[in-house]
Chains A and B, each alone.
Chain A
Amino acid sequence: MRAFNAVFTRDLRVAFRRWSELAHPLVFFIIVVTLFPLALSPTSAQLRELGSGVLWVAMLLSSLLALDGLFRSDADDGTLEQLLLSPAAITVTVLAKVAAHAVVTLVPLVCLVPLAALSFNIPLVALPTLVLALVLATPTLSVLIALGAALTVSLRRGGSIVGLLVLPLTSPLLIFGARATDLGINGEPTAAPLFLLAALAALALALGPIAIAAAVRVGLE
């Protein structure tokens, strides 16, 4: 547990030392969200109907941006090797890194999405469901992104194919998340998709770190 805290706090400190880079995914998200009304008609009825889908897709795409900070920067300065060799269990240290990445990039996104939802005049009543769905989706999303980063850690220009590797795997997230938001908007019961999101999160947290640790170990060989 000590190792988890050590890695978690170190990663947060390193991330906040270069806080300007943290803004990149957020700005990207805002740009993508503002582009859609330009492309579609700004009539509020249609925007509301498309709103949840647009928000979720924009969130998925912008979460892919802050990828290199996860493993590549550590691999370049040799600290990732030390994590592998450290007496702490690899899955724990990897989970700590994924958690730090989630806090640094996904949490601000999760806070930003409701604001964007308002601009899509999604009714206030739907916001709690939207936030809950986002929170439940964050673990799965950060694990999948971390896996994509780990698989391409030893590639110089690996970033470009992470999207191709990760996005098909995020399709269930997208389906359940957008669905939960739609139900929230129409005021219908949203239990089913939220439970499914929670189940995905549990599965990702259980199996994810093992796959990520294996990918990092192979990547650094």
Chain B
Amino acid sequence: MLRAQDLAVWRAERCLFEALHFELHAGQLALLVGPNGSGKTTLLRILAGLGEPTTGVATWNGATIGQLEADERGALAYRGHLEALKRDLTVAENLEFHAALWGGQADCREVLADLKLSDAADTRVRYLSAGQRRRASLATLRVSGAKLWLLDEPTTNLDGEGRAVLRDWTSRHLATGGLAVIATHQPDEFTRSGVLLIEL
């Protein structure tokens, strides 16, 4: 269960947002919408534990996210604008590294097949197109087996087919009791009943 208690963030004497309060339970999706520079990425990074709010606290199952124990951190996965893939390694090597570090159970080959990346598995990430790189980044998300997905505009560079796979994965993830907070500029793509809409 993810909970934010009157979060506020000031950046260099400027208030990004304040008094933000919400709760997200298993199987629920939250959509973060707002113009550029409204603090969506900052909020996501705070929820992932990469940054600290100026006041207020964000907790995961009661524990403050900034000071989570090492093994609890495995429950959170954050994918920002950067793909988190080493350009000189092949897609398969990147996936194996994520699986080794996160200890996820998902089998790499099956995830790649889902994303139609199997033939690109042994090419270096450097030679992939932006869309393929984004799919590979999503593949590492599945491999990590995290319960809470924090995605920052995951649909950038994705074509129709890629978006369909992402929507399908998200709904399956929520169905199995997972949580997700997605910052996006097209909220209607993910909207369905019971979605929490946070407008910054």
Show the binding face of A for B, using Cβ within 8 Å: 2-3, 5-7, 10, 13-14, 17-18, 74, 76-79, 81-90, 220-221
Contact = CB atoms under 8 A, between A and B. Distances in A.
B21 to A, nearest CB: 23
B163 interface: no
B76 A85 contact: yes
A185 B47 CA distance: 59
Contacts of A83: 101
Interface stretch (B78-86, B110-118, B174-182): B78-86
A86 B84 contact: no
Interface string B49-86: 11110000000000000000011111011101011111
A6 B101 contact: yes
Given A7-B101, A18-B88, A89 B70 contact: yes
Interface in B78-113: 78, 80, 82-89, 93, 97-98, 100-103
Given A10-B97, A86-B101, A221 B52 contact: yes
A14 to B, nearest CB: 5
Contact of A81 (B52, B84, B93, B97): B84
A157 B52 CA distance: 25
Nearest to A91: B70
A84 B100 contact: no
Contacts of A78: 80, 82-85
A111 to B, nearest CB: 25
Contacts, number: 75
Contacts of B151: none
Given A13-B93, A17-B89, A221-B50, A87 B82 contact: no
Contacts of B84: 77-79, 81-82
A44 B51 CA distance: 58
Given A77-B83, A77-B87, A78-B84, A221 B51 contact: yes
A78 B48 CA distance: 14
A3 B88 CA distance: 20
A89 B71 CA distance: 8
Interface of B: 48-52, 70-74, 76-78, 80, 82-89, 93, 97-98, 100-103
A77 B85 contact: yes
Given A10-B89, A77-B83, A89-B70, A220 B50 contact: yes
Nearest to A84: B50
Nearest to A6: B100
21 contacts: A2-B100, A13-B93, A14-B88, A14-B89, A17-B88, A77-B83, A77-B87, A78-B80, A78-B83, A78-B85, A81-B84, A83-B101, A85-B48, A85-B49, A86-B101, A87-B73, A88-B70, A88-B101, A220-B50, A221-B50, A221-B52
A3 B85 contact: no
B74 to A, nearest CB: 3
A79 B85 contact: yes
A81 B83 contact: no
A28 B86 CA distance: 27
B82 A85 contact: no
Contacts of B70: 87-90
Q: 8 closest pairs, A vs B, by CB?
A: A78-B82, A87-B74, A6-B100, A78-B84, A17-B88, A86-B101, A82-B84, A89-B70
Contacts of A85: 48-50, 73, 76-78
B89 A86 contact: no
A82 B48 CA distance: 10
A90 B97 CA distance: 16
